[in-house]
Structure 1
Amino acid sequence: MSKKSTRVDFACKALRQAIIEQALPPGTKLPEDELGARFGMSRTLVRAALAHLQSEGLVDAPPRRTATTAKPTLEEAKEVFEVRRTLERAVVRLVIERWRPEFGAELEGHVREEEAARKAGEAPVSIRLAGEFHVKLAEMSGNGLLRRYLGEVVSRCSLILALYGRPHSADCAVNEHREIVTALRGRNADAAIAVMDHHLGAVEHRALLDQGRDAEFDLGAVLSRYAEVVDTSNPPKVAPLPKRKTRAAK
């Protein structure tokens, strides 16, 4: 992998996690100069990162305009959940076909991480772990393309929750995920799909409450924090920026 690709991937990972954990609310402006300075990248590489995130539905980057975190309409949000239900049903069937005892142990370990984050009051971590539970299931399906598509849809759902939903309910997520693991252990595809459908229905209900939010925060501080979270042994150099207040675009 080239040095340029590494920088783009690094920026994508940091921005993606910040969006998924709802640290960058929908509609947040993402100025190229600030992203470039924060991640030590040229404008060309910044645009490449934004284009990649746009392909995942997480960023809107129209030509000759400042990119923003995506702000899907309610109709678009409903379409995302329709696609997600179809993908998750396919995942359940494939995971049951390939089921091994270690799958149950791995999923239970993940649910324990969710429980620990809930008890610690770490809402952003709970949000990320809740989505990663479903991505982990997709990995167990053995279908790489299905894992990729579901991962993108799960990320979009996190964005929708940030835009329309009530604050993340870690209690609900943990309990519903435990029910899914129990259903998968039973190796009954129809029963497991019914449990998954119920869970996704609850997530969709929490997401589509049409309670649009507005948030004021320090963009530079958010970018710095998430650059540190995804830091590697050879991270790109990051230039310090003066703090300034940024309001999510309306």
Structure 2
Amino acid sequence: MTQSTSTPRPAVRGSSAVDLRIHGAVVNAVMSHRLPPGTRLAEAELCELYQVSRTTVRKALQRLAHDHIVVLRPNRGAVVASPSPQEARDIFTTRRALERTVLPLVIEHRTPASLKRIRAAIAAEEQARHSGDRAAWIRLGGEFHLLLAELAGNAVLQRFMVELVSRSSLIIALYENPGVPMCGNDEHERLLALIEQGDVANAVALIDHHLVEIEGRLHLGAPERKLSLADALAGY
């Protein structure tokens, strides 16, 4: 089994250890594509799995809904979110903007210890890939980006990145081209080399290209055309 290198999530006020554990488990399962979009998250089953009250489960689900990982449906429960093609485009546009901000901060704050953590994250990805553990490989690819956000030293950026990377995982699960890897280790290794060299311009260019490539491998189709209510109901 591939060892987890999960990046710590920023703490949230008013959350208990148990509901944070449920939240983290769902996020990791989404990032591993073990919980695909549309999966129902039954409160009773979560209560039994974690031996907790419905109040605790609901708190975790509410936080997941706040992070746009699940959708809470009145009288029908929670399901894993299913982002639309337009949401997918918007999320990747936002990720590119944020990660272009993250990289200069990572380089500015780099230390031998932080570089060692990045190398370890890449090694874990490579181990998962060679062992054929696709779920771990997918999750670790996302966690590489979360690690960079953590090493940037900006808690606000890190919180946004947790949401965006998790939502990106949902998008990839919905729209990926089967058999095509979404995050290549070679690009992560090249990025590490640029961080070590302190090459901000090329690191930013590479992360932008990296995310454009990931989005380009998705089957998002043509941009959605929104109809007005009058147009939608015309002829009925």
TM-score, length-scaled by structure 1: 0.77
Aligned mates of 2:67, 2:172 — CA distance in 1: 16
Correspondence list, 1:89-128, <5 A? 89-128=100-139
Aligned mates of 2:128, 2:164 — CA distance in 1: 23
Q: Which amino acid in 1 is paired with 2:125?
A: E
How far off its partner does 1:102 sit? 3.4
Aligned mates of 1:44, 1:121 — CA distance in 2: 39
Q: Does 1:23 align with 2:34?
A: yes
CA deviations 1:173-214 (Å, max 9, x no partner) are 2111011111222212111111111111111123x3149xxx
Q: Does 1:69 align with 2:93?
A: no
Q: Does 1:52 align with 2:51?
A: no
**Larger mean Cα displacement after TM superposition, 34-43 or 169-178:** 169-178
Aligned mates of 1:171, 1:34 — CA distance in 2: 32
Contact 1:165–1:209 (8 Å) recurs in 2: yes
Contact 1:96–1:187 (8 Å) recurs in 2: yes
Aligned mates of 2:191, 2:60 — CA distance in 1: 35
Q: Which amino acid in 1 is paired with 2:69?
A: L
How far off its partner does 1:116 sit? 0.7
SS, match of residue 184 in structure 2: helix
SS, match of residue 181 in structure 1: helix
Identify which of 205, 209, 216 aligns with 2:219: 209
Query: In the alignment, which residue of structure 1 is the partner of 2:97?
Result: 86
Q: Does 1:194 align with 2:179?
A: no
TM-score, length-scaled by structure 2: 0.82
CA deviations 1:104-142 (Å, max 9, x no partner) are 332122111111110000011111111111111111111
Assess, with a 3 A threshold, how the Cα gap between structure 1 residues 171 and 5 changes in structure 2: closer, same or farther. Answer: closer
Segments of 5+ residues of structure 2 without an aligned counterpart are 1-11, 222-236
Q: Which amino acid in 1 is paired with 2:102?
A: V
How far off its partner does 1:41 sit? 2.2
SS, match of residue 61 in structure 1: strand
Q: Name the Cα RMSD after superposition.
A: 2.0
Q: Does 1:183 align with 2:194?
A: yes
How far off its partner does 1:69 sit? 0.3
Aligned mates of 1:168, 1:140 — CA distance in 2: 31
Aligned mates of 1:169, 1:177 — CA distance in 2: 17
Segments of 5+ residues of structure 1 without an aligned counterpart are 212-250
How far off its partner does 1:98 sit? 1.9
Aligned mates of 1:164, 1:110 — CA distance in 2: 26
CA deviations 1:59-84 (Å, max 9, x no partner) are 00122222100001000111111111
Aligned mates of 2:35, 2:105 — CA distance in 1: 34
Assess, with a 3 A threshold, how the Cα gap between structure 1 residues 123 and 67 changes in structure 2: closer, same or farther. Answer: same
Assess, with a 3 A threshold, how the Cα gap between structure 1 residues 102 and 41 changes in structure 2: closer, same or farther. Answer: closer
